[in-house]
Structure 1
Amino acid sequence: MSFIISSLDHNILTLTLNRPEKYNSFTEPMALELQEALQKAKDDAVRCVILKANGKAFCAGQDLPEVVERAKDSSYELADTVRTTYNPIIRAIRKLEKPVVCAVQGMAAGAGANIAFACDIVVAAKSTQFVQAFSKIGLIPDSGGTWFLPRLVGLARTNFMYLLDEKISADQAVNLGLIYKAVGNENLEDEINSIAQKLANMPTKGFGIYKRAMNETFSNNLDQQLELEANLQTEAGNTDDYKEGVEAFLEKRKPEYKGE
């Protein structure tokens, strides 16, 4: 059985977590499959990526029995799992110069929540609950949790999410600025497909350049970011998508972007 189901349709690559009987909790083989699938998303035929999951839950985080088993080897450290399982996924999502939209349902816990927060646009079903789930077993947030959460919601809210281990509903997540939108359970698939289709037909080359700017913004000072914007704007202005957008505007027609 494949732990990650991949399908490409109309320039949209859909990656589906497929371990529903275990609430899509990650084992190392499952993580490696997702890493490989994200590398394939670099293909020119892909202009948008959907990350979703089969079953009642999006992702319950780490498969703890796997870690317990690996810990029987005295040389094993939790850092081994973080470095080989989760860090490559987060880096792949952020460095992929395509928009990544995430559809979340049911529970998104621990690494499962933080992988969702690493995506560019997140839509959750109303039934969704996000929870960090690390503090109750004496761990710290990983999978970028200590990086994304303070930037998304601030330190005070990050503290209560981690320290108190409170579940956050989809509506609360919208209000806190964690995700883009909450929709009825029955509308999740249509909503995420609509967003992906729109993105895949827009100037996606520019989206990749935009992601590079966003990845630098919290480490740069204002002068550095202004200079980066100038340089990246030149790069964006040399794309075929930019030329098509300008020509379509002047000719008063709908642009036909190719992501080039």
Structure 2
Amino acid sequence: MSYSIPATDEVSSSDSVTAALLFYVHNHILYLTLNRPSVLNAIDLDMAIALHHLLAEATANQTIRAIVITGSGRAFCAGGDLKFAMAANPDTPGDSFLVLTEVLHRCIEEIRTMPKPVIAAINGAAAGAGLFLALACDLRVMANTAYLKQSNTSYGLSLPAGGTFTLPRLVGMGRALEIVMLDDPIPAARAYELGLVNRVVEASSLIEQAQSLAERVAQMPVGVLGRVKQLMNQSCYNTLNQQLHLEQQAIAISANSSEGREGISAFIQKRRPAYI
């Protein structure tokens, strides 16, 4: 397998045989496409390994300023591949989930700690771990024809991939428990009302809209965005006093950085800052 992020706009794949994950770079943005459309882009071990490797490489690659994740075909991602889990361990499928989540959870951690914006372009159904993969992203753009579904509890499974962390933080404990216990499909308009997604757009323009959003954030001071993202993550468990101390340190570091100096100079000179 080859996981190297290309330096050009050429489309590559994580595996030349199965092509479970497609990826390319354009204008400093890494585009990742979950590509198992015959199974609604369900996540198996190979896809999870490829996704984690590329996310980690994007974190380290200084030329990458933003990441967009979407799905191929009519789904974003149907979640973990249950057939894979049963085939690998018919008597104890839980063992399969232990192996799969070991890698998938690294993907979630990479997205949440990556000092770069990550955008989910939800082109179709996002269910189970696929929903939670989308919720782990910093911004979510959703096609008006797509829907979200928690799914796991309906099939006798608890929530993986950070679902119990992100859901209550996005919609509150009451709504989160409602989503878990009733497992109703959530259409795009309702997902926007609940705050599960940032934008709902026409399905035909989803990728264009996601690209426009990614290019916009890529023009921002990405180092500062990453620093603020880290601060917001830390706010989940810090006291106000601890958070104020971290903010004090972060704004000093930001001001002394090349981005901070450019931003301050642009403000004083009454011009638009240039961060690329």
User: Do Structure 1 and Structure 2 share a fold, with TM-score over 0.5?
Assistant: yes
In structure 1, C-alpha distance between the alignment counterparts of 2:199 and 2:165, rounded to whole Å: 21
Q: CA deviation at 1:83?
A: 3.4
Kept in 1: contact 2:48–2:100 (CA 8 A)? no
Structure 1 stretch displaced more, 65-74 or 11-20: 65-74
Secondary structure of 1:224's counterpart equals: helix
Q: Distance in 2 between matches of 1:4 and 1:46?
A: 18
What's the Cα RMSD here? 1.4
Q: 1:88 and 2:106 equivalent? A: yes
Residue identity in the other structure for 2:69 = L
1:153 equivalent among 171, 183, 192: 171
* Aligned 8 A contact 2:223 2:259 in 1: yes
Tell me the distance in 2 between the aligned counterparts of 1:152 and 1:107: 19
The partner residue of 1:235 within 253, 263, 268 is 253
CA distance in 2, matches of 1:128, 1:83: 25
Match of 2:49 in 1: 32
> What letter corresponds to residue 53 of structure 1 in structure 2?
G
Q: Distance in 2 between matches of 1:76 and 1:185?
A: 36
TM-score of the superposed pair, with normalisation by structure 2: 0.90
* Offset of residue 246 of structure 1: 1.1
**Percent identity of paired positions between Structure 1 and Structure 2:** 35
Structure 2: which amino acid aligns with 1:25?
Answer: A
User: 1:125 aligns to what?
Assistant: 143
Pick from 202, 209, 217: which aligns with 2:227? 209
What TM-score, normalized to structure 1?
0.95
Map 1:164-243; keep pairs closer than 5 Å: 164-243=182-261
Distance 2:101 2:209 in 1: 33
Query: What SS does the aligned partner of 2:131 have?
Result: helix
Separation in 2, partners of 1:97, 1:35:
15
For residues 135-181 of structure 1, what are the alpha-carbon distances to aligned partners after superposition, in whole Å with 9 as ceiling and x for unaligned?
11111111000000001001111111111111111111111011101
For 2:133 and 2:176, the matched residues in 1 are separated by 16
- Rounded Cα–Cα distance in structure 2 between residues aligned with 1:21 and 1:235: 48
1:63 to 81, 103, 107: 81
Gap runs ≥5 in structure 1: none
Say which SS state the counterpart of residue 253 (structure 1) adopts.
coil
The amino acid across from 1:31 in the alignment is: A
Structure-1 separation of matches of 2:45 and 2:263: 43
Amino acid at match of 2:244: L
Q: Is the 8 A contact 1:82 1:143 kept in 2?
A: no
Instruction: Give 1:77 shift.
Output: 2.4
Shift of 1:115: 0.5
Give the CA deviation at 1:69.
1.5
Conserved? CA contact 1:50–1:103, under 8 Å: yes
Alpha-carbon separation, structure 2, partners of 1:152 and 1:61: 20
| 2:120 aligned with 1:99 | no
Runs of 4+ more than 6 Å apart: none
**CA distance in 2 between partners of 1:129 and 1:112 (Å):** 11
Aligned length: 258
2:21 is aligned to: 4
Partner Cα separation in structure 2 for residue 222 and residue 166 of structure 1 = 36
- Match 1:20 to one of 24, 37, 40: 37
**RCO higher in 1 or 2 (8 Å CA, sep ≥ 6)?**
1
- Contact 1:82–1:142, Cα closer than 8 Å, also in 2: no
User: Residues 157 and 107 of structure 1: is their aligned pair in 2 closer, same or farther, counting only changes over 3 Å?
Assistant: same
* Alignment-derived partner of residue 95 in structure 2: 77
- The whole-number CA distance in structure 1 between the counterparts of 2:188 and 2:248 is 37
CA separation of 1:217 and 1:78: change in aligned 2, threshold 3 A: farther
* TM-fit CA distance, 1:81: 3.3
Question: Given residue 241 of structure 1, which amino acid in structure 2 is its aligned partner?
Answer: E
